[in-house]
Each structure stands twice: as structure tokens, then as C-alpha cells.
Amino acid sequence: MDSDRTVGIDDHDVDEVTLVARGIATAVAPEGGLTDVQAELLEAIASALTGVSVDYRTLEPLGPEEYADILSGRDIVYRRRIVHHMVLGELVLRPIPVVVAHRVATYALALGVNDDFVRVARRYAQGAYGLAWMDLQRNGFVEHVREASGEEPSDKVAPRGSAADPFEPAQVDPELAARWSAFEGLPPESLGRSVWEMYDGRGFGFPGTPGGAPKYLAQHDFVHVLADYGTNLKGELEVFGFIGRADPDPKGFAWLATLIGLFETGYISSAGFFDRDVRERNIRAPGMLQRVADAIGRGKVVCDRYGVDLFEVDYYDLAARPVGELRELLGLPAKSTAAIEGGSAGLFDLEGMSEHQRRVVAQRRGDET
């Protein structure tokens, strides 16, 4: 992987980065000022994306109209990504003060950005967790995340009435299952063989088999291999932060926002299976802010160099090629020193697995000896 992290980082003027940061900080600050987690997360992201270090705690306020004037020369994609940074800054608060959620909506409106997650954050702030949950459920995310949390996989073949396009319910598909099984015969270090080892080692059911992951969601497992992220919740935060920012369409932000809303702040803990994960405080864990920021930074590099939604890549066509070669194709940089020092685990590291996954791996290794 490319270890030169300055490659892909645009030349950014310190004054410009500071102006952008001022607007974000003003929008998301609670009454007592930015919290430590907000400041550190936003600083880490700014640094990963621009190479510029900004102290978010000392910025002067900047109102929505003035902010909109400053960003008027920027296109809607850029402005929407700025709004997403604001939403991230909100989502790490619990509770989200109504005044903050309303203020972020005001900034989004001034910037001409209409975004679903501004609305979801306002529902969290209001306390309308049920409505927010219904909104999030539409993306069919629940089962996948449930597995990543270390719980026993449920029968995902059963139709899920809430699943909506593009997340079709998992189907038993012998042809698809055969394609995944055939990955076993591919050369070591190839993408297909690596993803096969990931599934086989952890006891995951192949897509197309009863209980297997839906084909669409299984796409992100190829990204676990390529970006070398673990499959516990910390790894999922990294991989979806990466995928979301690698998507040229800002809609990819939904992945990270959903994960944080579900597991970090536990806004929908009443749904029953999130409590343990909320207690773990994944994003507040030591090193995680740097890991997530680095994943977003790596995603931006891939977005600039490759420019394709990683959920839409035909990995089956690429499966026989070496992982290293595909990383070059994507322009995928190595993890930063800060992310590695922060504990970013590789796909096959035990530290990158949930307790359930570790038990399966240990059992299988025991069976083999």
C-alpha cells in the first residue's frame, strides 16, 4: 500500500480550513462549548482530510449566512460533506440538545443542503427514537450490524419486510454460493481466497447459503480485505467510514452515521440488542477517533483516485487478482501511523474480531490441530 499519506491530500490553505472548521464548530457546539469528543473527532478528521491541524476549541463563531457566503463557490457535494461533518459532531452527543440539532438544520438550509441525516439527528434530539429507528431500518442494516456486534447470527433468509432497495433480503442462491465456495481454489493472497479465508475462519455463512449475508451487504466484506480492517464493531466503524468517504456520492455517509447512531450513542437502545455495544463506547475508546478519521482520510484518497462506490465494484471479476495489485488499482494508501498506534487491527488479527468470532476461530484452529 502507498504509505505516503500526503498523496491524495489536496493543497489546503490553513485560513480556508480554519474558516470551514469555524462554521462546523459553531453549528455543533452545545451550550457549554464543544465537548472533548467532538473537538478531538473533528480535529482528527480535518487533519486526515487536509493535513492541516486545527484547534476546534479556540475557534471564533461563524454564523450560517456568512458561512454560506464563504462556501458559495463550492459545489453541492462539498457543502453536503461539510453538513455531514456537522451531523457527525452531533451524533457523538447524548443527548443531542434540540438547540444544536436545530442549529445544524439552519446551517444545512443556509448551505442549500437537504439531507436525511440532519432529520434523523433532529429526531434523536427530540427523543423520537422510534421514528428515527424506522427510518434507519429501511436500509436493511440491522442484521449485518447485529452479527458484527458478536451475537449469534440469526436466520437472515427469513424475509424482512423492512428491507428496501438496494438492500434486498438475503436469498438462498446456489449459484452465488458456488461462486463464493470457489474462491477457496484461488491463489493465496488473492482477493477471492482472502475473503474466503475471512468467511471460513470466522464461520460466516457464504452469501447464497441459508443464513448467509445478503449479496449486497457482502460487497463490503471485500473491502475488509482490501483496506485490512477487522470485523468487530471498531473494524466496522473503520470500514464504513472508509467506504462512505470513498463513495463519490455523499450518500455513503449514511453508513458511518448509522453505525454511530446505533452503537456509539445508543439512540435506539430500546430496540433491545444495543446496550452492550453502547457500554463499550467504541468511538470513544482510545485511538478510535484517529482510526475513524484515518479511515475517512483513506476513503477520500480512494474517492479521488478511483471514484467508484465500493459497493458497486464487481469484486467477482477481480477475485483472482492479488490483493496488493488491487490496492494499487484503488490508489489505497496505507493506514496512518496514528491509526496503527491507535490500535487499528488487520483483518486476520484476533484484536480485529468480536468475542464470538474469536471463539469460532479458536475452535476451528483447535479442530485443525
Q: Which parts of this chain interact with other proteins (CB under 8 A)?
A: 98-99, 101-102, 105, 116, 119, 122-123, 125-128, 130-132, 134-135, 138
Between 105 and 223, CB nearer to other proteins: 105
Do the beta carbons of residue 342 and residue 288 sit within 8 Å? Answer: yes
CB atoms within 10 A of CB 120: 25
Q: Provide the b/e sequence for 136-169 (b: ≥16 CB within 10 Å).
A: bbebbbbbbbbbbbbeebeebbeebeebeeebeb
State the minimum distance, in angstroms, from the CB of residue 146 to other proteins: 20
Measure the CA–CA gap between 270 and 278, rounded to whole angstroms: 12
Do the beta carbons of residue 25 and residue 34 sit within 8 Å? Answer: yes
State the minimum distance, in angstroms, from the CB of residue 304 to other proteins: 32
State the minimum distance, in angstroms, from the CB of residue 349 to other proteins: 39
SS3 content of the chain, % helix, strand, coil (to 5): 60, 0, 40
Measure the CA–CA gap between 246 and 86, rounded to whole angstroms: 19
**What is the CB-side half-sphere exposure of residue 293 using CA atoms within 13 A?**
29
State the minimum distance, in angstroms, from the CB of residue 128 to other proteins: 4
Between 31 and 367, CB nearer to other proteins: 31
Q: Provide the b/e sequence for 258-275 (b: ≥16 CB within 10 Å).
A: bbbbbbbbbbbbebeebe
Joined grid coordinates for residue 192: 477471492
State the minimum distance, in angstroms, from the CB of residue 290 to other proteins: 33
Between helix 174-182 and helix 191-202 the angle, nearest 10°, is: 110
Between helix 233-246 and helix 215-227 the angle, nearest 10°, is: 100
Between 123 and 144, CB nearer to other proteins: 123
Between 119 and 284, CB nearer to other proteins: 119
Q: Give one word for 272, left, alpha or beta, with left for phi > 0 and alpha for psi -120 to 50.
A: left
Beta bridge pairs of residue 190: 322
DSSP-derived 3-state class of residue 322: strand
In this structure, what DSSP letter does residue 352 have? G
State the minimum distance, in angstroms, from the CB of residue 122 to other proteins: 5
Beta strands per DSSP E along 165-280: none
State the minimum distance, in angstroms, from the CB of residue 108 to other proteins: 11
**What is the CB-side half-sphere exposure of residue 54 using CA atoms within 13 A?**
31
Do the beta carbons of residue 352 and residue 233 sit within 8 Å? Answer: no
State the minimum distance, in angstroms, from the CB of residue 57 to other proteins: 24
Between 102 and 279, CB nearer to other proteins: 102
Amino acid at 46: A
State the minimum distance, in angstroms, from the CB of residue 160 to other proteins: 15
Between 99 and 362, CB nearer to other proteins: 99
